[in-house]
């Protein structure tokens, strides 16, 4: 009976591991489309759009009009935004994590209208049909 219990527990553990392994790519949507959808009206109304990914990621494709400043370069972000602490700014990265870090740093410096649009892929799938996504080499 104890042997059966161990076998059953091992089978359940394997099932859980396999399930997590299979659904994790689906969960890695690279951003939240519902949140990204909220960014488009801001972008269309002239918000400064900042891609906080690496230069290599940016060069591989980005939203038209975005400027590239890696998230950890707080002084460069502040310089790009300027002195208007209420200037609308939309930041994005791959998943929203780095954009969240950039937003948190900018919040600490008193900026009040920074929106984390989460990920590039989420922005791509929620953008208007006329929105140009700039692939590598088209700049």
Which one of the listed residues 93, 102, 106, 114 is annotated catalytic?
Answer: 93
Residues 21 and 38 in one domain: no
Rg of the chain in Å (alpha carbons): 20
* Angle subtended by helix axes 74-81 and 97-108, to nearest 10: 70
Return the pLDDT at 95: 96
Residues 17 and 85 in one domain: no
Residues 24 and 40 in one domain: no
Is 117 one of the catalytic residues? no
Domain range for 42 = 33-135
The enclosing domain of 69 has a CATH number of 3.40.250.10
Whole-prediction pTM value?
0.76
Return the pLDDT at 137: 56
Number of domains in the chain: 2
Return the pLDDT at 8: 74
Q: Give the containing element (helix H, strand E) for 57.
A: helix 55-60
Residues 43 and 70 in one domain: yes
Residues 8 and 61 in one domain: no
**pLDDT per residue of the chain (139 residues) written in tens, 0 to 9:** 667 777 777 666 666 665 554 444 444 459 999 999 999 999 999 999 999 999 999 999 999 999 999 999 999 999 999 999 999 999 999 999 999 999 999 999 999 999 999 999 999 999 865 555 666 555 4
Residues 67 and 112 in one domain: yes
């Amino acid at each position: 009976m104890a042997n059966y219990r161990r076998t059953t527990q091992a089978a359940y553990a394997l099932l859980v591991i396999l399930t997590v392994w299979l659904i994790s790519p689906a969960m890695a949507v690279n951003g939240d489309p519902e949140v990204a959808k909220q960014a488009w009206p801001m972008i269309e109304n002239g918000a400064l759009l900042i891609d906080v990914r690496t230069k290599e990621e940016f060069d591989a494709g980005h939203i038209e009009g975005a400027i590239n400043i890696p998230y950890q370069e707080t002084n460069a972000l502040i310089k790009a935004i300027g002195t208007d602490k209420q200037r609308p700014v939309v930041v994005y990265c791959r998943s929203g994590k780095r954009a969240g870090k950039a937003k948190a740093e900018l919040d600490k410096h008193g900026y009040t209208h920074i929106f984390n649009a989460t990920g590039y892929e989420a922005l791509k799938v929620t953008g208007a049909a006329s929105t140009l996504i700039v692939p590598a080499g088209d700049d």
